[in-house]
Structure 1
């Protein structure tokens, strides 16, 4: 492995090369940078058309989504089933609706799903890629999103005693 040249050495070599008529391009300095975000995978047009047909059929207005069409279809169908099962009640319990959607997605797609259901709410959330949908149905708005789960590492009590 070669040792990188110092700035003075690089400048000296460049000056010598210019005098001889040879053009030498030095590599730019390395900078630490975050990798570019992954490009979204475009959904197949037939999946988009199928999802649009389901949304029209179930009286759903899809507001925003960063989720595969199959997951969007699942949340829309599940929300419609919950609303239809509570059709006999004049007053729907939004907490019950959000809890049921959250538990469904926790069971199927892993933990850390969050759900907000209501007629009027504001939000600003950070979500995992491919885990966000916001739609309205029958005067109710639904926001379902997933956050990243990181394991918590606890120090054992014995280590805490020795470190003090």
Structure 2
């Protein structure tokens, strides 16, 4: 199995990178649980007394919040859970695993991954503001505040505080990368009408058994052509029934390039259909012809459905 082969897989790289960074930062913030410390302002203001009046051993060593006051730190641990689920979904998309389970299909969708990333960022941002509030209240209401100021000590935010902020930024960057790089290739929305007679290679060229031309016609970009040919070959090797091949090709292509694609598989059939200008391909296998396209409603009138003997999937949407 080849990882990150082609643009359709590398587009998940930045999303996975920032998502993984968010998980690491969130977990470290929870593990260290250090939100603010008393810090020394000036050596001249320090009293030559033992702590807590003096500041020789106090400088950046004592936490402002006690363990009982940092219960909000669990939000950072919980924020790593949706990010982890999102990373698992990206792994499933990269490795081209079969998503037969309805739950696996749902978490692999772009909308579900965006929701999980937003949830992780929201939990980290919530922790960020709660920590500010808790530190402010604790440093204001503590009975020894005036002593700390006399000793030249003030509150300084610590490691977990900044890690939570960076984790939230990483989650937001993952969401931006998902929106920016997973839109897929931009295609012309114009509909083109194509009328074709499709035959398998052996029927089309009976005297030329050595013909190696697989893609007989295509208006797709090269990366989509490569993906369509690879999916079609695997489907024909694994399956025998035309209906199953059509369903496999349609489902796999939609998982990479989004809905809604339509697939026809057969030995000899005709077609008259509207399709988008750069989203149409014909593939000739040794004993089958495969037609794959994406379409929408034409501006003037709906095209009449053609009668053929092929196996179709979701053709009623055209």
- TM-score, normalised relative to structure 2: 0.26
Give the structure with the larger helix fraction: 2
TM-score normalised by the chain length of structure 1: 0.49
Determine which structure has more spread, i.e. the larger CA radius of gyration: 2
